[in-house]
Structure 1
Amino acid sequence: MTDVLTPDICVIGGGSAGLVVAAGAAQLGLKVVLVERAEMGGDCLNFGCVPSKALIAAAKAAQAQRSGAAFGIAPVEPKVDFAKVMDHVAGVIAAIAPNDSVERFEGLGVRVLKEEARFTGRTELQAGPHRIHCKRIVLATGSRPTAPPIPGLADMPYLTNETIFANRTLPAHLIVIGGGPIGLEMAQAHRRLGARVTVLEAFGFLAKDDPELSAVVVDHLRTEGVDLRDHVRLARVEKAASGMTVFLEDGERIEGSHLLVATGRAPIIEGLDLDKAGVAYTKRGITVDGALRTSNRNVWAIGDCNGLYAFTHMAGYEASLFIRGALFRAPAKLDPAIVPWATYTDPELAQVGLSESEARKQHGEAIRVLRWKLAENDRAQTERETDGLVKVITDPRGRVLGATIVGPHAGDLIQPWCLALSKRLRIAAMASLVPPYPTLGEASKRAAGSYFTEALFGRRTRGLVRFLARLPVW
């Protein structure tokens, strides 16, 4: 029999974005139905952020055994039990999973349906035997990995971020197609765990990041033995005794045991029958306005499915905008100027706001570019991690336009700059910070302080100080 439900809010998708909306709305006293056809927690918990960072942590522990010489500690080649490494990854997922579980959300008062949903009208959905009538529908269906149209690839048992964490055999030679964040993170992690790794990229590595700082990451991976090839064209992929052979257009053949495809993602919108609801979409995602509302005023799209920003933190941010705008009727509009992201290679690479090239396009040549090398940071010297840089962009009046950091813990170090962008702060606010010593965070203060070096120690200032020095002490 058909079960008719009339919640205040219906959320389609139990990933990061959908769970924030469901939890928030339920705790505000609203009736919420959450429809999720697959794993609760979505890509981030099961196939993305959580398992990848767990694998990276294991790889860092292995690399630490090779890196003791500078501290007077004899380096050793670690003995890696790859199956136990993957047990560690699974254990981390299991530890976090209860926070995203059906049981927790039902405890909050959310009605969770493990079904596949589709529209039957502008405010109507069918989810298994359940018919849902709702004035506020939130689409948070996420995205999935895509593969390029390389001849022979579809016939290969290649890995993606959705399958690589189920692999329990250390690759003899991992070939990675794609030199973005996922490709380079997985390349370095597997190399540190003992695999031979080759990365093939059609364009440039970390192409969305500042090239001056991304080059630091690329150089570091090369020193660790990752074979990085950019601006290459792939002709075809074939099965081989060793696993597979990748043929380049220049005739070179590369044989590997495992193949990871990390070339992009596509929104999960098929099967929703969006046309029946009057929801506009393209192949990039569901079309939304600044408040994340679709062409159907009763439907919002948040997270990866709208094609704007494929980051877990942005999914949470967009969910908060929905709660603020749709539930509290307060102004809520997505601000692209405050979007941060990080790549968790070693060294890490993080950015918020405009890059140098973007700032020049928008503000001309009058921008200020501030830099501070980690080699001039005492804490970085003590830990022998001086391969890094803080780079900050301001307008001529000192308003912060963007910041990029490459170095250890860059994903954490970028956070004060996220605050500066979100609150429209000027560089003086960052320069006036008093961070504890010795910390890596001092590098950000020193970069900010360099904005005032010329004015503070210039000829006019020195003349003023000499004049004041002649006056009576007060």
Structure 2
Amino acid sequence: MTNRIETDICVIGAGSGGLSVAAGAVQMGARVVLLEGHKMGGDCLNYGCVPSKALIAAAKQAHTVRKGGFGIAPAEPVIDYAAAKDHVHDVIATIEPVDSQERFEGLGVHVIREFGEFVSPTEVKAGDTTITARRFVIATGSRPFVPPIPGIDSVPYLTNESLFDLRDRPDHLIVIGGGPIGMEMAQAHVRLGSKVTVLEGAQALGKDDPELAAIALERLRGEGIEIVEGAQVSEVSGTAGDITVKTEDGRSFAGSHLLMAVGRAVNVDKLNLEAAGVDYDRRGVKVDASLRTTNKKVYAAGDVAGGLQFTHVAGYHAGVLIRQLVLGLPAKARTEHIPWATYTDPEIAQVGLTEDQARKAHGPKLEVARFAFDENDRAIASGRTTGLIKVMIVKGKPIGASIVGADAGELIGLWAYAIANGHKISAVANMVAPYPTLGEVNKRAAGAYFSPRLFQSDLVKRIVRIVQKF
């Protein structure tokens, strides 16, 4: 027997975007049904941001002991890989209640733990329940993409969905993919005592500013990671503990474990979008600026919407959708103010345009302000002087910022704020930062924009000479 529910909003997927829509909408008075066929909290809580940063924290602890310094003798750390994974799962368990079914039911959301499938433009079936809604939100996220490499079907491999359940430390981890996930996990594992080889078909950290990426890659190689660029994988073979990866140029790499980190695939295959009249392709559901699909009653948020694939973007999309679906107000999503970070050590963070992108878009109008971390007193005191900030400025306004260095993911927030609100570079230059802090690099970068105007201007010098006569 089929149950039927009528509701205002039906959200498909209980990851970051879906949970944010559901929580916001129900607390404002809308009736909400939330469908989730797998784990509450989605990829970020269970397989992505949360466990990866927890493992990175454990690895950093080992690296600190091994490195020593400041009068503290270095020592080889005693690493319990399984205990590090216990830390990962403890972190997940601590955060889990915030995303739990119980919490959302307590808020008034009708939670159904089944996958949702469209059966018409206005109906979704989940288990033995059919839901009719005024509006639908697709928030099904993405999963690891595993390319059809010859031999991959017969070789045991890891993805971010299985890596954090591994209890025995890999002797030699081969990572296919030199993007953020691949490089973060490569550094974490080399610090935890594994040998690590990264194979990248193009350039490692290729989506980041090349100058900043080079600084990070030098550190990663210095810690012992073998990073092989231009290494297009042609074949994999072997068994558990003895895996061989061959590249198109004839090279061969042997290791004990294989991690696939070559990108993400959006989760649309179970939705039966054809029945809903929703267009999509391999990049995701096709949406307009308001995140509406080709079915005017259906919207999308997060990875599945085909744009930037970050947890905070899904949360941002949720706010755009709540404004429209709950309050009936116009809203459009934009991307120029969206920051992101790669949590290697040093970290890399970006918001807006990179220098190359800005030069192509603005040509001679572009000015780039720079400041190096080794000129920051706090960085010097704490031994974290590897780093650089670049701010792209047009007509006195920042249009992009790129940072590599300690806490880059924290520092980028100021520039995201400035760009989101249309502030001039003078707003950052006028800020007073506490001394000594890494945050001063932001102010000093802004000051670098004004320095030539003040210290190299003949007009300013003439004015000063006149003033000094009185």
1:13 — aligned with what?
A: 13
Number of aligned residue pairs: 469
Q: CA deviation at 1:271?
A: 1.9
Instruction: Please tell me whether the aligned partners of residues 21 and 322 of structure 2 are also in contact (alpha carbons under 8 angstroms).
Output: yes
Instruction: Please tell me whether the aligned partners of residues 155 and 239 of structure 2 are also in contact (alpha carbons under 8 angstroms).
Output: no
Q: CA deviation at 1:235?
A: 2.2
**Which of the residues 406, 409, 425 maps onto 1:408?**
406
Q: Deviations over 1:106-126 (max 9, x none)?
A: 000001001111111111111
1:246 is paired with a residue whose SS is strand
Moved over 3 A (4+): none
Give the Cα–Cα distance (whole angstroms) in 1 for the partners of residues 179 and 433 of structure 2. 33
**Which of the residues 440, 443, 447 maps onto 2:441?**
443
2:202 is paired with a residue whose SS is coil
Matches within 5 A, 1:40-439: 40-69=40-69, 71-240=70-239, 242-395=241-394, 397-439=395-437
Gaps of 5+ in 2: none
Give the Cα–Cα distance (whole angstroms) in 1 for the partners of residues 134 and 410 of structure 2. 40
Give the Cα–Cα distance (whole angstroms) in 2 for the partners of residues 449 and 331 of structure 1. 38
2:463 — aligned with what?
A: 464
Give the Cα–Cα distance (whole angstroms) in 1 for the partners of residues 115 and 144 of structure 2. 20
Give the Cα–Cα distance (whole angstroms) in 1 for the partners of residues 266 and 62 of structure 2. 36
Distance 1:357 1:466, change over 3 A: same
Give the Cα–Cα distance (whole angstroms) in 2 for the partners of residues 365 and 161 of structure 1. 43
Q: CA deviation at 1:240?
A: 4.9
2:7 is paired with a residue whose SS is coil
Instruction: Please tell me whether the aligned partners of residues 200 and 231 of structure 2 are also in contact (alpha carbons under 8 angstroms).
Output: yes
Greater shift in the superposed pair: 341-350 or 327-336? 327-336
Give the Cα–Cα distance (whole angstroms) in 2 for the partners of residues 247 and 451 of structure 1. 49
1:25 — aligned with what?
A: 25
Give the Cα–Cα distance (whole angstroms) in 2 for the partners of residues 233 and 46 of structure 1. 30
Give the Cα–Cα distance (whole angstroms) in 2 for the partners of residues 338 and 460 of structure 1. 36
Instruction: Please tell me whether the aligned partners of residues 303 and 318 of structure 1 are also in contact (alpha carbons under 8 angstroms).
Output: yes
Instruction: Please tell me whether the aligned partners of residues 237 and 247 of structure 1 are also in contact (alpha carbons under 8 angstroms).
Output: yes
Q: CA deviation at 1:241?
A: 7.4
Give the Cα–Cα distance (whole angstroms) in 1 for the partners of residues 330 and 2 of structure 2. 38
Give the Cα–Cα distance (whole angstroms) in 2 for the partners of residues 337 and 426 of structure 1. 15
Give the Cα–Cα distance (whole angstroms) in 2 for the partners of residues 154 and 264 of structure 1. 18
Amino acid at match of 1:426: K
Amino acid at match of 1:127: A
The TM-score with structure 1 as length reference comes to: 0.98
Give the Cα–Cα distance (whole angstroms) in 2 for the partners of residues 141 and 241 of structure 1. 32
Q: Deviations over 1:154-208 (max 9, x none)?
A: 2211000111001011000000000000000000000000000000000011111
Greater shift in the superposed pair: 397-406 or 250-259? 250-259
1:52 is paired with a residue whose SS is helix
Q: CA deviation at 1:281?
A: 0.6
1:414 is paired with a residue whose SS is helix
Instruction: Please tell me whether the aligned partners of residues 235 and 245 of structure 2 are also in contact (alpha carbons under 8 angstroms).
Output: yes
1:36 — aligned with what?
A: 36
Instruction: Please tell me whether the aligned partners of residues 284 and 304 of structure 2 are also in contact (alpha carbons under 8 angstroms).
Output: yes
The TM-score with structure 2 as length reference comes to: 0.98
Gaps of 5+ in 1: none
Give the Cα–Cα distance (whole angstroms) in 1 for the partners of residues 171 and 62 of structure 2. 17
Instruction: Please tell me whether the aligned partners of residues 242 and 255 of structure 1 are also in contact (alpha carbons under 8 angstroms).
Output: no
Instruction: Please tell me whether the aligned partners of residues 285 and 304 of structure 2 are also in contact (alpha carbons under 8 angstroms).
Output: yes
The Cα RMSD (Å) is 0.9
Give the Cα–Cα distance (whole angstroms) in 2 for the partners of residues 167 and 372 of structure 1. 41
Give the Cα–Cα distance (whole angstroms) in 1 for the partners of residues 308 and 151 of structure 2. 31
1:323 is paired with a residue whose SS is helix
1:73 is paired with a residue whose SS is coil
Amino acid at match of 2:12: I
Greater shift in the superposed pair: 426-435 or 235-244? 235-244
Amino acid at match of 1:415: G
Give the Cα–Cα distance (whole angstroms) in 1 for the partners of residues 464 and 345 of structure 2. 45
Give the Cα–Cα distance (whole angstroms) in 2 for the partners of residues 240 and 291 of structure 1. 48
Greater shift in the superposed pair: 312-321 or 264-273? 264-273
